[in-house]
């Protein structure tokens, strides 16, 4: 029974075409293999099942803001290791590495720009900087963004993506919740419009403060949004969690968010809300 054996010896298995790394991505939802450049072009959304991959923070600028209308505000504000904190790594070293890798940006960047001609103040959280953690710099930048939006009477939009408070800054990081929330209260009293966009993942102190304080709260499809992570909750209560727990769709059903907006519609939806409410 050797009829199935390869007769043509010229075909050499060794000459397999090599596939460069990073060209293909497997969709965790539908398991389709996706061509990375095509995926990037499609706003990092799977074309088979609409699964929203995590997107680099800079891409949100292109997604939402009119091309060329943006000006970055409050650059060059950096954190320092004021508690002389060392855990697995020294916080000084961690900061130095993160600033070098991220081009001197902390966990958030603030912009002045336009959404279909409407002027806005936009903050975008950068998850690649120590897990998008909220420390003193995030608190200071968001506070300045709120003051700027108040003074110039512009809507404020914050795109959230964070693992929570920055433990390396201890209680100081927790104080940012109060600092930002009190600024937001003033902004709200003066009739300012504040919109949050919750993306995968938005957890911990960010959910516990400014993430959930938006006049309008949008979320991307399938995003993990919660305070403590599902694993911690499961261990604490000793019970299985309902399906889809802490995902956007679950939170919409429970009334925590206003709308789930696919990336492709985010800009037009924002424009509509700003046009209606400001
Ligand atoms: Zn898919």
Give me ligand 1 centre to Cα 171, in Å.
41
Same domain, 89 and 104: yes
Per-residue tens of pLDDT for the chain, all 278 residues:
556 666 665 655 555 556 567 899 999 999 999 999 999 999 999 999 999 999 999 999 999 999 999 999 999 899 999 999 998 999 999 999 999 998 889 999 999 999 999 999 999 999 999 999 999 999 999 999 999 999 999 999 999 999 999 999 999 999 999 999 999 999 999 999 999 999 999 999 999 999 999 999 999 999 999 999 888 999 999 999 999 999 999 999 999 999 999 999 999 999 999 999 98
Same domain, 143 and 42: no
- What is the CATH classification number for the domain harbouring 78? 3.90.226.10
What element of type H or E holds 111? Answer: strand 108-115
Neighbours of ion ligand 1 (CB under 5 A): 27, 29-30, 46, 48-49, 51
Give me ligand 1 centre to Cα 263, in Å.
15
Residue 9 counted as domain residue: no
Same domain, 118 and 34: no
Same domain, 30 and 59: no
Helix, strand, coil percent content, the chain, rounded in steps of 5: 40, 20, 40
Q: Which of 53, 78, 99 is the last residue of a domain?
A: 53
Same domain, 116 and 170: yes
Same domain, 119 and 187: yes
Q: Which residues pair with 125 in a beta bridge?
A: 108
Q: For residues 196 and 218, is the Cβ–Cβ distance under 8 A?
A: yes
Residue 48 counted as domain residue: yes
Same domain, 100 and 59: yes
Residue 267 counted as domain residue: yes
Give me ligand 1 centre to Cα 88, in Å.
37
Same domain, 31 and 145: no
Kindly report the number of other CB atoms within 10 A of residue 11's CB atom. 8
Give me ligand 1 centre to Cα 124, in Å.
25
Same domain, 41 and 82: no
Note the pLDDT of residue 6. Answer: 62
Same domain, 140 and 99: yes
Instruction: Specify the pTM.
Output: 0.90
Note the pLDDT of residue 102. Answer: 85
Q: Which of 53, 73, 99 is the last residue of a domain?
A: 53
Domain assignment of residue 194, given as a range: 54-277
Note the pLDDT of residue 10. Answer: 61
Q: For residues 165 and 147, is the Cβ–Cβ distance under 8 A?
A: no
Note the pLDDT of residue 7. Answer: 61
Give me ligand 1 centre to Cα 37, in Å.
15
Note the pLDDT of residue 34. Answer: 97
Residue 14 counted as domain residue: no
Q: Are strands 216-219 and 259-260 parallel, antiparallel or unpaired?
A: parallel
**Cα–Cα distance, 3 to 5 (Å, whole number):** 6
Same domain, 43 and 62: no
Same domain, 44 and 64: no
Give me ligand 1 centre to Cα 28, in Å.
7
Q: How many domains does the chain have?
A: 2
Residue 176 counted as domain residue: yes
Give me ligand 1 centre to Cα 216, in Å.
28
Residue 182 counted as domain residue: yes
Residue 181 counted as domain residue: yes
Burial of 235-262, coded b for 16+ CB within 10 Å and e otherwise, reads eeeeeeeeeeebbbebbbeeebbbebbe
Give me ligand 1 centre to Cα 44, in Å.
11
Helices (H) and strands (E) in the chain, counts: 8, 9
Residue 162 counted as domain residue: yes
Give me ligand 1 centre to Cα 115, in Å.
29
């Amino acid at each position: 029974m050797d009829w199935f054996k390869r007769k043509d010896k010229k075909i050499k298995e060794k000459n397999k075409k090599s596939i460069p790394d990073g060209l293909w991505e497997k969709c965790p939802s539908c398991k389709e293999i996706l061509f990375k450049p095509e995926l990037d072009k499609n706003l990092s959304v799977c074309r088979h099942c609409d699964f929203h991959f995590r997107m680099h923070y800079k891409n949100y600028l292109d997604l939402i803001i009119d091309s060329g209308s943006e000006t970055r505000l409050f650059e060059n504000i950096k954190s320092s290791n004021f508690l002389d904190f060392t855990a697995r790594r020294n916080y000084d070293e961690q900061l130095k590495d993160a600033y070098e890798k991220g081009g001197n940006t902390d966990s958030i960047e603030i912009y002045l720009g336009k959404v279909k001609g409407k002027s806005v103040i936009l903050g975008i959280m950068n998850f690649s900087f120590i897990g998008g953690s909220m420390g003193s710099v995030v608190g200071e930048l968001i506070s300045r963004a709120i003051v700027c939006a108040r003074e110039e009477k512009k809507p404020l939009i914050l795109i959230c993506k964070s693992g929570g408070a920055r433990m390396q800054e201890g209680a100081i990081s927790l104080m940012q919740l109060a600092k930002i929330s009190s600024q937001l209260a003033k902004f709200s009293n003066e009739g300012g419009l504040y919109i949050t966009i919750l993306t995968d993942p938005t957890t911990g102190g960010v959910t516990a403060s400014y993430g959930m304080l938006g006049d309008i709260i949008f979320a991307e499809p399938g995003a993990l949004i919660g305070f403590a992570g599902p694993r911690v909750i499961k261990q604490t209560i000793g019970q299985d969690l309902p399906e889809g727990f802490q995902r956007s769709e679950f939170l919409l059903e429970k009334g925590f968010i206003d709308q789930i907006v696919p990336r492709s519609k985010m800009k037009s939806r924002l424009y509509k809300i700003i046009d209606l409410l400001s």
